[in-house]
Amino acid sequence: MYPDLNLFIAGEWRKTGSDMPVINPATEEELGRLPRASQSDLDDALSAAVQGFELWKHVSPRDRATTILRAAALMRERREEIATSITLEHGKPLKQARLEVTRGAEFLEWDAGEAMRTYGRIIPAARGHKFAVHHQPVGVVAAFSPWNFPMSQPARKIAGALASGCSVILKAAEETPAGALHIARAFQDAGLPPGVLNIVFGNPTEISGYVIPKDPVRLVAFTGSTSVGRHLTMLAAQHDTRVLMELGGHAPVIVCEDTDVRSAAVSGAIRKMRNTGQVCTSPTRFFTHESVFDAYAAAFVERAKGTVVGNGMDAGVEMGPTANDRRVPVLTDLVEDAVAKGATLGTGGRRPAGKGYFFQPTVLLNVPENARIMTAEPFGPVAVINPVTSLDHAIERANSVPYGLAGYAFTNRADYIDRLVDELEVGNLSINTLEASMPETPFGGVKSSGYGREGGTEGLDNYMTVKNVWHAVAIA
Ligand code: NAD
């Protein structure tokens, strides 16, 4: 059920002398041993990526798209197998893991199409002169993907890089390696030339510290916490290397007085618990108009309490454990701090007894602004619901954190929506839905949530350079 774990370098699967355990977070049992890349493995991956780039950048966009689409089709065919390994290593319910596999394939399919639309342009010039703008692949990409979406996160980075004609060295998350390895297998079976895609694991700090400064690396693409993103950005800057950063979020949800309160609350509670709250766009700070606060909070708490928590492999489970043993103490501290400062615990707040890194679906009400959870991203199944007196108050509170990834609002008032579009400091705003993005829409943050966009027609910009060509027909 769970694949053999290897590195993937120069089109070959590789084991190494040193390895580390991969743990099932629902049972705390070992699933397998993951090889750690040595410096010589990383050197091999770098050389392979250089050779891969030299070859792949000359492959026509249509042929690149064909290979990517073939890999996406294989991933769809293997959905059950891939989803099962994701649930085993990450803990999320199998139903959510299946959706993740589909989403990963969709990322590849969208970027495959975009590969054929990386148009340049002709700029009008004086007679005898031509100005032409060309988009060209940036080169070798060092990519780092996190553990919250073991398959769709690596798929997104691989899609952008390969569609643009770049080669990649991806360090996927050590806790959840199978998703990325399934992608590599699909690309190998789809006929991707060796070296275009390389996957390594090991000590994250050592790998990024070794690979990013190397000359062939032209772009660092990272998804993860703001603090690590900042560190990698500084490292890249020392070598004049570009970065694409998708970092943390602390999404506000503004619930206005005109909304259908019960439906908004139920959808909030369901969405908050999705992926056990381990989503950078997870709705977390619910600012609810004071006139509907009591009804909203009651319906939200009732639905959160009803969440079916358990092993993601079991039918009917809505929320699995957190993905690793680091989250539970962090979440416990944040809840205790909020309650000590005066918040009301609506439900949850603890790790249940027994095996697994579980944390109860948790709702905090009337949380004081000085509680740490109001500024620190919980990245877990914890919601904060606070009353606000007006839209001004809600927008001021929503914008009060350094993050600006996703923001949500529930209202049908055109004047409110107009103000939210203008004033909410986020990269993605959703009205009357808690979905944040699709493959065809650009995704990314403002402020400390990062820079650059993945998806949409903007997605390949990060992976390409712009070359302006001035051609004088005769020697001037
Ligand atoms: P973390 O910041 O240590 O790790 C996050 C990811 O970054 C992991 O996959 C890790 O392998 C990688 N990483 C860490 N240090 C690195 C380095 N020096 N070089 C390259 N990669 C490195 O924290 P964590 O405990 O794993 O997760 C906690 C926080 O990370 C969460 O609170 C959340 O804010 C953030 N996070 C965000 C996302 C996202 O989708 N934006 C995903 C996962 C984690």
342 CA distance to ligand 1 centroid (A)? 30
Average pLDDT over residues 366-375: 98
Does 110 contact ligand 1 (Cβ within 6 A)? Answer: no
246 is catalytic: yes
226 CA distance to ligand 1 centroid (A)? 8
Does 300 contact ligand 1 (Cβ within 6 A)? Answer: no
Average pLDDT over residues 55-78: 98
Does 147 contact ligand 1 (Cβ within 6 A)? Answer: yes
Does 204 contact ligand 1 (Cβ within 6 A)? Answer: yes
Residue 476 has pLDDT above 80, yes or no: no
Q: What percent of the chain has pLDDT over 90?
A: 99
Nearest CA to ligand 1 atom 38: 224
Nearest CA to ligand 1 atom 18: 205
Closest CA to 383 of 282, 469, 466: 282
Question: What's the pLDDT score for residue 390?
Answer: 98
Give residue-wise pLDDT tens across range 405-455: 999 999 999 999 999 999 999 999 999 999 999 999 999 999 999 999 999
Give residue-wise pLDDT tens across range 186-236: 999 999 999 999 999 999 999 999 999 999 999 999 999 999 999 999 999
Nearest CA to ligand 1 atom 39: 224
Average pLDDT over residues 386-392: 98
Does 208 contact ligand 1 (Cβ within 6 A)? Answer: yes
Among 100, 106, 246, 425, the one annotated catalytic? 246
Are 150 and 173 within 8 A, CB to CB? yes
Does 403 contact ligand 1 (Cβ within 6 A)? Answer: no
Are 180 and 151 within 8 A, CB to CB? yes
Does 202 contact ligand 1 (Cβ within 6 A)? Answer: no
Question: What's the pLDDT score for residue 17?
Answer: 83
280 is catalytic: yes
Give residue-wise pLDDT tens across range 346-356: 999 999 999 99
Among 100, 114, 280, 454, the one annotated catalytic? 280
154 CA distance to ligand 1 centroid (A)? 14
Compute the mean pLDDT over every residue in the chain, rounded to the nearest whole number. 97
Residue 1 has pLDDT above 90, yes or no: no
147 CA distance to ligand 1 centroid (A)? 8
